[in-house]
């Protein structure tokens, strides 16, 4: 069976999936904050680029053992003036060229990854570092809402003030109102939430001492539980958030913005709960790579 490597160079993390068919052989996710400062400057910072390149160098041995490989870059790279120059450096690090996805392409691959093998109608919610995608089988929306982008834009105190949090939620709410069509809010669908925010919330809710993808997969997060988690996280300074059971300390700086964004999406779509899933853009990319090998 064909073994493939899928690499996602995101705004907040750099991730690797090694898979054979529907079987996951290995997965790594390292917070690299590539999008640090991009919302303000419009450029990728040298320190952030170097963090990603160092991680990719570590992925290279596993990737070279695969029959096929593909890498994608998302919001931070497509928004940055020096994104094309960074792509050349990534090509040197990986030995093959990455693809900078449009918001539409990102949405399609995420939907394919999240819904493969499922039947029914779904809305996939992908809250990233620099963008948030909402995707159904017939429509999708890609917005400039992200956990890194909105943390940097609004949350300047430690812990964030009530006014800062309100400004963030208002910004997110207005963006969703401007971009999410009414038909997406009215269609009955099962919600699947992917990426770091929902999976970390699931791990916290489960009280995991060590991250367990099998237990996180399919965990239900209700709107009241998300509101309680937001209140808990927002009340703590960063040092104490890093110590929360179930939360990856490297994701503590953006978890407040992430939960706030997810709650605004839940409210916008009229949802009562979401299902956390590990099956995201990496799986969509891996399957498309398998089909192309």
Tokens of 237: 């300074």
Q: List the CATH number of the domain containing 90.
A: 3.30.420.40
Q: Which residue stretches of the chain are H helix? A: 38-41, 46-64, 75-79, 83-94, 103-115, 147-154, 162-179, 182-186, 196-206, 213-216, 223-234, 238-241, 252-269, 281-292
Looking at the fold, whether 85 and 158 belong to one and the same domain comes out as no
Looking at the fold, whether 134 and 97 belong to one and the same domain comes out as no
Looking at the fold, whether 95 and 166 belong to one and the same domain comes out as no
55 domain residue, yes or no: yes
Neighbour-count burial of 241, counting CB atoms closer than 10 A to its CB (0-12 exposed, 13-18 middle, 19+ buried) = buried
Grade residue 189 by pLDDT with cuts at 50, 70 and 90.
Answer: confident
How do strand 190-194 and strand 122-127 relate by DSSP bridges?
parallel
Global confidence as pTM: 0.87
288 domain residue, yes or no: no
Q: List the CATH number of the domain containing 135.
A: 3.30.420.150
The pLDDT > 70 percentage for the chain reads 99
108 domain residue, yes or no: no
- Each residue's pLDDT tens digit, 204-261: 999 998 889 889 999 999 999 999 999 999 999 999 999 999 999 999 999 999 999 9
Looking at the fold, whether 193 and 226 belong to one and the same domain comes out as yes
131 domain residue, yes or no: yes
275 backbone dihedrals φ, ψ, rounded to 5°:
-105, 120
The pLDDT > 90 percentage for the chain reads 72
Looking at the fold, whether 140 and 45 belong to one and the same domain comes out as no
Neighbour-count burial of 208, counting CB atoms closer than 10 A to its CB (0-12 exposed, 13-18 middle, 19+ buried) = middle
Among residues 49, 76, 103, the one where a domain terminates is 103
For the segment 48-53, the average pLDDT, to the nearest whole number, is: 96
Give the pLDDT confidence score for residue 185 in this predicted structure: 76
Residue-number span of the structural domain to which 248 is assigned: 115-277
Looking at the fold, whether 199 and 78 belong to one and the same domain comes out as no
Q: Which range, 49-58, 72-81, 107-116, 184-193, has the best average confidence (pLDDT)?
A: 49-58
Grade residue 293 by pLDDT with cuts at 50, 70 and 90.
Answer: very low
Helices vs. strands in the chain: H and E counts, helices first: 14, 11
Does residue 52 have a pLDDT over 70?
A: yes
Does residue 130 have a pLDDT over 90?
A: no
Grade residue 292 by pLDDT with cuts at 50, 70 and 90.
Answer: low
Residue 166: CB atoms within 10 A of its CB come to 13
Looking at the fold, whether 120 and 247 belong to one and the same domain comes out as yes
Domain count, the chain: 2
Do residues 142 and 106 make contact, with C-beta atoms less than 8 angstroms apart?
A: yes
- Each residue's pLDDT tens digit, 88-120: 999 999 999 999 998 788 888 999 999 988 888
For the segment 271-285, the average pLDDT, to the nearest whole number, is: 93
Looking at the fold, whether 125 and 270 belong to one and the same domain comes out as yes
Looking at the fold, whether 64 and 202 belong to one and the same domain comes out as no
Kindly report the average pLDDT of the chain as a whole number: 92
Give the pLDDT confidence score for residue 195 in this predicted structure: 87
Does residue 180 have a pLDDT over 80?
A: yes
Give the pLDDT confidence score for residue 255 in this predicted structure: 96
Tokens of 34: 């590539």
Among residues 103, 135, 155, the one where a domain terminates is 103
Element (DSSP H or E) covering residue 6: strand 3-9
Do residues 196 and 258 make contact, with C-beta atoms less than 8 angstroms apart?
A: yes
Grade residue 167 by pLDDT with cuts at 50, 70 and 90.
Answer: very high
Provide the 8-state DSSP code for 235: T
Provide the 8-state DSSP code for 243: T
């Amino acid at each position: 069976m064909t073994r493939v490597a899928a690499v996602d160079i995101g705004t907040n993390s750099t991730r690797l999936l090694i898979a054979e068919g529907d079987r996951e052989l290995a997965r790594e996710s390292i917070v690299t904050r590539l999008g640090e400062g991009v919302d303000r400057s419009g450029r990728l910072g040298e320190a952030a680029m170097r963090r990603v390149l160092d991680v990719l160098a570590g992925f290279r041995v596993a990737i070279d053992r695969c029959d096929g490989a593909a890498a994608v870059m998302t919001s931070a790279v497509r928004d940055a003036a020096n994104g094309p120059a960074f792509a050349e450096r990534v090509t040197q690090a990986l030995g093959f060229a990455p693809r900078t996805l449009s918001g539409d392409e990102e949405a399609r691959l995420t939907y394919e990854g999240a819904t493969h093998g499922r039947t029914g109608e779904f809305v996939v919610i992908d809250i990233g570092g620099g963008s948030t995608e909402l995707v159904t089988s017939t429509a999708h929306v890609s917005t400039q809402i992200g956990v890194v982008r909105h943390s940097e834009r609004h949350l300047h105190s430690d812990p964030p003030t009530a006014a800062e949090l309100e400004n963030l939620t208002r910004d997110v709410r207005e963006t969703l109102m401007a971009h999410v069509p009414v038909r997406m809010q009215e269609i009955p669908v099962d919600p699947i939430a992917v990426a770091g925010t929902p999976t970390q919330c699931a791990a916290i809710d489960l009280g995991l001492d060590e991250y367990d993808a099998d237990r996180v997969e399919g965990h239900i997060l209700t709107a009241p539980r998300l509101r309680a988690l937001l209140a808990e996280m927002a009340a703590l300074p960063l040092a104490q958030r890093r110590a929360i059971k179930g939360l990856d300390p490297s994701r503590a700086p953006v978890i407040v913005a992430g939960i706030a964004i997810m709650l605004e999406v839940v409210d916008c779509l009229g949802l009562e709960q979401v299902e956390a899933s590990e099956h995201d853009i990496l799986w969509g990319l891996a399957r498309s790579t398998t089909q192309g090998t």
